[in-house]
Structure 1
Amino acid sequence: MRSFGAVDPVKVALAGLTTMALGMAAALNADALPVIGGGTTYSAEFSDAGGLRADNDVRIAGVKVGKVSEIDLEGDRVLVSFQVKDAWVGDATSASIQIKNVLGQKYLALDPRGEAILDPGDPIPLRRTTAPYDVLEAFRDLSKTVDAIDVGQLARSFDTISATFADTPADVRSALDGITKLSGTIASRDRQLRTLVANTRQVSQTLVDRDTEAQRLIQDGNALLRAISTRQQAIKDLLDGSKRLATALDGIIADNDGQLGPVLEQLDRLTSMLQRNQDSLAKGIAAFAPAIRVLTNVAGNGRWIDGYLCGLVLPTFGPLNEKGCFEK
């Protein structure tokens, strides 16, 4: 057996570096590994990305089955690459970009169809994909367009058109008068319109910037509603149990009414008597206190009784009791 010192250190170093390189490559491409990775990689062609971004969810029937890995522009179409794990994707599958929440976040929805499994090398064609219309982008474009409009020039153009068609029939003149009034209204409300559009742009941008917080808020609200629903069932069970207990107690009282009635009646008479004689009982207790104190003094010196007898010999019969019991 060859000793460790006889091994060529260059070969050991090359083997170690190769192992480290393979480990780093596997760590950086963990999602692409067949067992521990993120699943099978597919692709789909879209006419517009529609606000879809990498790491957005991929869902089938509302259930998350993967995520979007990459979005590339290829010619006149957008190629979206995504990963799907533990889900069947057929060769006639269709894809669409859907809105996840009110803040405009998107996800890729798949409708798996077909009889055979979709080949990962064949992208879902453009005819089986649908891109949404982004409302937030539309508001942004509207604000830019309104900002670029020269309202004064627009009003003067409408006035020129109205003056040009001044000699036309009454119906045309009425329509032109309406256009003139509209141009005047737009010109007089220019500042308010610009403020409104600017505020709309700020609101939409704030919603986009706070997308994560708002999504977390919605999730917390769902958790709160689930907790309330759970507590509602617990409260319902408690009320049902209380109702059953009341029914059982009512039956017990009905069964023992013949015995409980006289007992309660006698107890009521006893408490009434004690209430009537409350003052007498108080005086009796107060008068009983000295007797208890004397008895305690007599029997409180050990295992004998210590007492004092006064008046056994009258004061008139000698010097033993000359002053009597009550004189000092």
Structure 2
Amino acid sequence: MTVVAIAAALAATLLISSAGFGKRTYEAEFAQAAQIAPGDGVTIAGVQVGTVDGARLEDDHVVVTMKIDNGVPLGADTRASIKLTTLLGARYIELRPAGEGDIPDDRIPLAHTEVPYDLMEVLADATTTFEQVDAGELGDTLAALAGELNGLPPLMPQALANIESLSAVLAERRDQVGSLLEATGAMTGIVRYQQHSLGALVTNGRDMLQEITTRREMIDRLLAATTNLVSELHTLVVEDRPEVEQLIASLNELLQSLGNHDDLLRNTLQILPVPLRNFTNASGTANEVDFSAPAGPMIDSWMCALSGRAVELDMPAYFQECE
């Protein structure tokens, strides 16, 4: 049942759209069709408000039927013009609302419409233009041009031959040229569809430059500190290299000496707790110092005895000098 309901809703939507509900039909009289076709857009101030539904011949002019969205205000003096969308010849109708009330009989008269060109006016303008041309002077000019061309070296024929060769190449590669134009059109479409992303990119770049400008002083200090660091490293690594090498050599000698006297260092660390404990016991009675040292603070005799016991137990001895 759910699927049937969805299908019915879709069908109803399509029927409502195809039936033209929510649209109002207007007509406009034009001197000629100017290749306007059903499906072409109808706009007001660049916003599409409808589409062309059809065109028919009526007496000496053309009547174009338009489907316009309901609620679009069109006054009695509304004007209509057929405009070119692209250089390839796509067209649309531009409406310019004017006046009060509604369009009489929902038809825009011929006096309020315009077309991209009027063939009769073009021919009349051409006739007027050619009437103003002095045929005698034109003939003299052509004769002078012919005389000049006769005296030219064979460069002009070569240029014409090159043009002919270029035309032949273009004719042979018209498919590739067509593919190039299609690719260019596709790229233009991508740029148009991604204009918001490009705008965001430009905005982010502008914000970044503004942030860099705002923090210019901080960046200058950072660069100065980096320069000083590089200078100090250069002084340390290059200029003071002998001192650094001497320091490393001294450290190596110290470590080697400690390694050579490992037994002495170990004995020192082993006996160190005893004098520390005696010192703690002696100074642990308030402001007095109380201790007994029958054999000195290090108790050498006791340590030597303990060292001998350590040798019996196969443990490191305290003093090798007890022997």
Normalising by structure 1, what TM-score? 0.49
